[in-house]
């Protein structure tokens, strides 16, 4: 009898959430900022259950698993998705385990100049600030409408640009809810088309960063 009651309590939240429309489920997850993973639940099933709009079941899994922030509870999960109503808005999500089967959920809107629908090129990690902690880097391509003059005739054309945005985490005691920060735009990382190019620029800046700190 006790086993039956325990099983009922475990399944009740799932059945309740399953009866809600996907947008309500995702809004609830983002509002709470926390999601619980069920025993033996795969990463894909977990993310699709708590973020069914941004990670629908009929889409190929674009979930990145990476040990970004030190944690004894497993790797962080990353994914991106467009706003279903406004396709020019791109979001990046992190699901970060900080207690057993308990994940903090954070969403950032990738800040870009006014443009057409952006295209995610890469999610990767690098110690951009040379402080021993890797930042989360998001490389995006977008097309903007800009004035151009040809043969003394002015018109507007569409031009492709690349942008890299950076996000970081703040140190907390293991088991406490994680905290994050979004870094200001770094123009020297704009118009770099690949993660390899971004890494190369960051590597070239290392000596100058060290000299400034030594002064």
Q: Across the beta sheet with 64-66, what order do the strands follow?
A: 34-36, 102-109, 90-99, 76-82, 64-66
Burial of 114 (0-12, 13-18, 19+ CB in 10 A): exposed
- Position 50 scores a pLDDT of 96
Given a cut of 50, the residues of the chain with pLDDT beneath it are 1-12, 209, 211
Tokens for 57? 């079941």
- Position 1 scores a pLDDT of 46
Total number of domains constituting the chain: 1
Cα–Cα distance measured from residue 101 to residue 98, given in angstroms and rounded to the nearest whole number: 8
Structural domain of 140: 2-214
What is the torsional sign of CA 61, 109, 180, 54? Answer: negative
- Position 12 scores a pLDDT of 44
pLDDT digits (tens, 9 = 90+) for 21-38: 999 999 999 999 999 999
- Position 112 scores a pLDDT of 83
């Amino acid at each position: 009898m006790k086993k039956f009651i325990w099983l009922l309590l475990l399944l009740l939240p799932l059945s309740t959430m399953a009866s809600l429309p996907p947008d309500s489920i995702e809004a609830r997850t983002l509002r709470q900022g926390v999601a619980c993973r069920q025993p033996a639940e795969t990463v894909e099933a977990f993310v699709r259950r708590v973020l069914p709009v941004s990670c629908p079941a009929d889409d190929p899994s674009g979930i990145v698993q990476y040990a970004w922030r030190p944690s004894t509870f497993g790797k962080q999960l990353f994914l991106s998705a467009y706003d279903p109503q406004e396709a020019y808005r791109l979001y990046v999500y992190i699901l970060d385990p900080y207690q057993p089967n308990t994940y903090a959920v954070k969403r950032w809107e990738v800040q870009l100049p006014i443009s057409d629908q952006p295209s995610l090129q890469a999610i990767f990690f690098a110690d951009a600030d040379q402080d021993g902690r890797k930042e989360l880097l998001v490389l995006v391509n977008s097309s903007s409408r800009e004035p151009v003059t040809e043969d003394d005739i002015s018109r507007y054309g569409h031009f492709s640009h690349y942008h890299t945005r950076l996000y970081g985490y703040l140190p907390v005691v293991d088991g406490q809810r994680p905290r994050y920060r979004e870094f200001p735009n770094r123009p020297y990382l704009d118009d770099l088309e690949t993660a390899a190019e971004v890494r190369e620029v960051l590597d070239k800046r290392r000596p100058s960063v060290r000299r400034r700190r030594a002064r």
